[in-house]
A and B are shown apart, each in its own frame.
Chain A
């Protein structure tokens, strides 16, 4: 190598991953491999090991007849060692409580990974993952009727233990990095919130299947999760996190969710795919809206200042003042939107990874669709058409005398609703329009009950002929 090359390379040798960076990277990779395991056909086959063992045994028994092959022995030893070091722990990852390899999973595999998590944030993430694992195991056991009282108690204990451990690490992190601690806290709360919602829906679904109408007592595990969530939320309220940090976390979770979706697509029906895809798009839309808001310069005038300016310039036109009124969207609203998006993502990830969740809870109930403004406007318009049809029918009938005055007042009120709804739609206040259209629908439904099948009002000859014809038919 030339002197230049030696010098050049010498100055790059110090550029390498730090020890904790490498460990974190290794851990992320192993987590990725766990969530994206090899297909069964590609995994190490124990039968191949048995064949090697039997060949070896044959060799041992017939030493005189068969030449002892050191290469074969060596290969077997290496393969067996690899299997013990890698294959068994990997198999253990799929174990459930009660299985032979389950203690290895919890007490060795997971503890090793916990000890390899050097950064407090990585430790918190790992404790959260362990919590989710215990809950997924509980669901798997429950689905096959193996969730005994002891197993349930163990899961409750695990929920408390991992949540407590995560919170202790958050407290430690807070002493030197408040921002990251707040982020970790939000992450923990979103996981617990997602799990709490799933349990609530699972319980509701179970009650419906059993024909029970009264709210059922939540299971011990569900109660433990809810309590953990409340405790985590109480701590979370003290911390502040910037939208930018949350966006980075959501981006990571979104990438993972998209990768999961790519896998799920292969087996899901087209309806399931569309449902999940729609919700992933909703999350993306929420995030993009916040990103757009953060990218734009914040409007600086507030309502008080603008009103004062209007007074000073003798502008008494109220409409002009209100049209110049602008509002500043506080950063905390962005954080709320992003937290909601993160929780939805966690629920979708749970839904896609946990077959037991998929079997007991529909994605429609787990993550309701977030309609766009246009969709909401269309829904309001469609509802208006529907209730206006009922209104035309009510208006065209002669109500009974005893309710005539009430019907008249109701129709006047209905007209006022229509006027207000149209104004709200023009102003773009979809939320108000939605509320009022529901109230108008309830009103017209009541009026319809009052008028019942009262005779139609005679308006002109055409109508009289029609009504007469209909009467003759009746």
Chain B
């Protein structure tokens, strides 16, 4: 601990910060792009994320884990982005505010795992953009950014139970979308 403190004191803040840029900028961009589907805007959000973190460092704060802090800042910026361009159709249709996600006793710990075991990952990825952001968020954090439920819980400030429920619901929606697409394809082949 003393060595870490010494290293933090003596090591150049700028060097650490720029190193974090080299290490995480691609992953952050990927996350932002998958969430908002706008490349140029995703680049801007990544830029804003790093400038905000730099401003945070300048005010004397210490960043112990760049990865989690960067994701947290980016996530907040993406939420702000959604608030600015709220799509009334899908988000309103799947409005989750007010729903108590903490008391789903029917949720089995193995439900999500068993659901994804047989799902086509490629098809799921192609249909991901159709999900509301609330579910896209947790799915991308879990299966693209490979964060654990505890990390996701800390990042978006929800309980692990809520995270598990959202993952389950998100996967269920994806599965339904995949099955609907497959059914459409079968019907089309039969009518030809």
Interface residues of A (CB under 8 A from B): 2-12, 15-17, 21-22, 25-26, 28-30, 32-33, 36-39, 42-45, 48, 79, 82-83, 86-87, 90, 259
Contact = CB atoms under 8 A, between A and B. Distances in A.
A16 to B, nearest CB: 4
A278 B29 CA distance: 37
B57 interface: yes
B130 interface: no
The B interface, classified by DSSP as helix, strand, loop or mixed, is helix
B121 A10 contact: yes
A29 B47 contact: yes
Given A12-B125, A15-B33, A79-B11, A25 B25 contact: yes
Contacts of A2: 113, 116-117
B57 A32 contact: no
Nearest to A71: B3
A460 B170 CA distance: 93
B54 interface: yes
Contacts of A17: 25-26, 29, 43, 46
A7 B122 CA distance: 6
Contacts of A8: 121-122, 124-125, 143-144
B25 A12 contact: no
Contacts of A45: 10
B12 interface: yes
Given A15-B34, A36-B54, A87-B12, A5 B143 contact: yes
A87 B14 CA distance: 9
Contact of B58 (A3, A9, A29, A36): A36
Interface of B: 9-15, 17-18, 21, 25-26, 29-30, 33-34, 43, 46-47, 50-51, 54-55, 57-58, 60, 113, 116-117, 119-122, 124-126, 143-144, 146
A32 B51 CA distance: 7
A7 B121 contact: yes
Contacts of B54: 29, 32-33, 36
Contact of B116 (A5, A21, A38): A5
Contacts of B51: 29, 32
Contacts of B21: 25-26, 29
B43 A36 contact: no
Contacts of A87: 12
A11 B121 contact: yes
B116 A33 contact: no
Closest 4 pairs (CB-CB, A-B): A7-B121, A8-B121, A4-B116, A11-B125
A10 to B, nearest CB: 7
Given A4-B117, A7-B122, A36 B10 contact: no
A12 B142 CA distance: 13
Contacts of B30: 12, 15-16
Contacts of A90: 12, 14
Contacts of B120: 4, 7
Contacts of A44: 10, 12
Max chain A C-beta neighbours (<10 A), residue from B14, B43, B55, B119: B14
Contacts of B33: 15
A83 B12 contact: yes
Nearest to B48: A255
B80 to A, nearest CB: 14
Contacts of B11: 79, 82
A60 B67 CA distance: 40
A474 B18 CA distance: 83
B47 A25 contact: yes
A90 B12 CA distance: 11
